[in-house]
Amino acid sequence: MPHVTWSRREDNPFIAEIVMQREEVLNAFNTQMAAELIEICADITARGDVRVVGLRSSSPRSFCTGADLKERNGMTEQAWRDQHRLFEKMFYAIADLPMPTVAIIDGFCLAGGMELALNCDMWVVSDKAVFGLPEVTRGIMPGGGGTRLLSRRIGVHRAKEMIFTGQKFGAHEVAEMGLVNRIVPSEQLDAAFLEIAAPIAENAPLSVRYCKSAIDELIGYPDDIGRERELAWYNKVIDTEDRHEGIRAFNEKRKPQFQGK
């Protein structure tokens, strides 16, 4: 049985959802689950016409609780390192999806599970979700972007508190830190996701993808370099059919029909 599946939404085929379904262990990821996530991300990218991706759990109990430590119990150091290289590919596969990604989070979102969410572009969160990077309480440290990505989102001081203490935080606390795009009751998660995803899916796909790439690349650049690279991304959009279609539709007072070309 697969631990991860994906499908297009019936109400909008431009929106895909990746579903983690290893419910019996709160979606702790093991070797199989990581390999499946990598393969699914490659499949979605190859399709070319998916415009938004949601990452969610099949269970409200847990989004993901990180690596399966039972599978890791008794591993040699070399086996641990080999497995972590696979996990690294999994995190990067999510981060490198060219279209916007939204983590749809309910229940526990801990350790590598929170890092999976950090590798997404946006968060839609249940008001009952619980977050944390407790790796230091187990003698390890975040290895999937936690020390690199969290401070970009919430600042160095808050990131250090979360990582150094290993403590858990509630949904409203992480929302106050600036990590959350929407915070709603569990039963409203799907509607909140669509509130973000549907308008994105209507926009020019190449424009949105280039905006994502530009934002991700330009974080931390000195302004002189940032200006140059920003215009390089802008100029990639100029000679696209979608740009011409957008101008035509505006002048013809109609809704544009973007094709991602």
190-248: pLDDT as tens digits: 999 999 999 999 999 999 999 999 999 998 888 888 898 989 888 888 889 888 888 89
- Residue 166 is predicted with a pLDDT of 97
Which of 247, 250, 260, 121 has the alpha carbon at shortest distance from 202?
A: 260
Tell whether the torsion through CA atoms of 124, 181, 50 and 246 is positive or negative: positive
Instruction: Give CA–CA dist 107/65, Å, rounded.
Output: 10
The number of helix segments (H) and strand segments (E) in the chain equals: 11, 10
Residues 6+ apart with CB under 8 A from 173: 131
Using CA atoms, how far residue 80 sits from 68, 86, 87, 175, in Å, is 12, 10, 10, 34
Partners of 17 in the β-ladder: 7, 54
What are the chain's domains?
Answer: 4-201 (3.90.226.10), 204-251 (1.10.12)
Low-confidence ranges of the chain (pLDDT < 50): none
Q: Are strands 122-126 and 182-184 parallel, antiparallel or unpaired?
A: parallel
pLDDT score recorded for residue 61: 96
Catalytic residue numbers? 67, 112, 115, 135
